[in-house]
Amino acid sequence: MTDPFEALAQRVAERVLDLVVSALDMNALLDRVDVNALVGRVDVNGLLNRVDVPALLDRADVNALLDRVDVDSLLDRVDVNDLVRRVDVDALVEHTDVGAIIARSSGGAASEALDAARSQVVGLDQFIDRWVQRGLRRKHPAPAGPPALVKGSPIQ
């Protein structure tokens, strides 16, 4: 007795569902969904804990993935100069084998003495120049060097 009614009810329900779904504007519906709130309710860490990353990586063809990366355009977007400026080269030299390589590649005591002597003389140059500029009451700083050698020097 119930089978014909059930079948009918099911057909009616499916038909109604089709009509409702076809009448729905899914984009408008999605626009009304607060995705941030939705994501906020998701325990991402818990989700990630359940992911078997090694198995995932085993299934991924990393080489194929890298082949699809446009490295040139990626590097174009990186400010390498800024990156290098942020590196503490002094610390790099002091705490890594780079320092040892530099020390071995550069000269010995003579080179060290020459560096020290030149540094002293440059200091004396700057000391004299500072007092001369002060004595001449110059307001504008002099150019640091010839334009071809020092960036920012005015071209004459």
Partner 1 sequence: MSAGTRADRPVTSQGHYAGSASRFLAYAVDSTVSSGVFALALAGISYVVSVVTGSHVSWNKGNIAVAIVFAGWEFIYFAYSWAASGKTFGMAILGVRVVRADGTAVGPRHAVLRTLAFPLSFLLLGLGFAGILVQREHRALHDLIAGTAVVYAWDARAARLRFLAREAEPAAGSGRSQQENG
Binding site for partner 1 (CB under 8 A): 85-104, 106, 111-112, 114-115, 118-119, 121-122, 124-126, 128-129, 132, 136, 138, 142-150, 155-156
Q: Which is nearer to partner 1, 24 or 132 (CB)?
A: 132
Considering the complex, state which of residue 12 and residue 147 has its C-beta at the smaller distance from partner 1.
Answer: 147
Please, which residue, 50 or 137, has the CB nearer to partner 1? 137
**Rounded to whole angstroms, what are the CA distances from 148 to 39, 135, 142?**
57, 29, 16
Beta carbons of 154 and 143 less than 8 angstroms apart: yes
Cα–Cα distance for residue pair 127/92, rounded to 1 Å: 31
Q: Which amino acid is at 122?
A: V
Biggest alpha carbon–alpha carbon distance for the chain: 116
Please give the distance of CA 58 from its chain centroid, rounded to a whole number: 27
Q: Which is nearer to partner 1, 7 or 114 (CB)?
A: 114
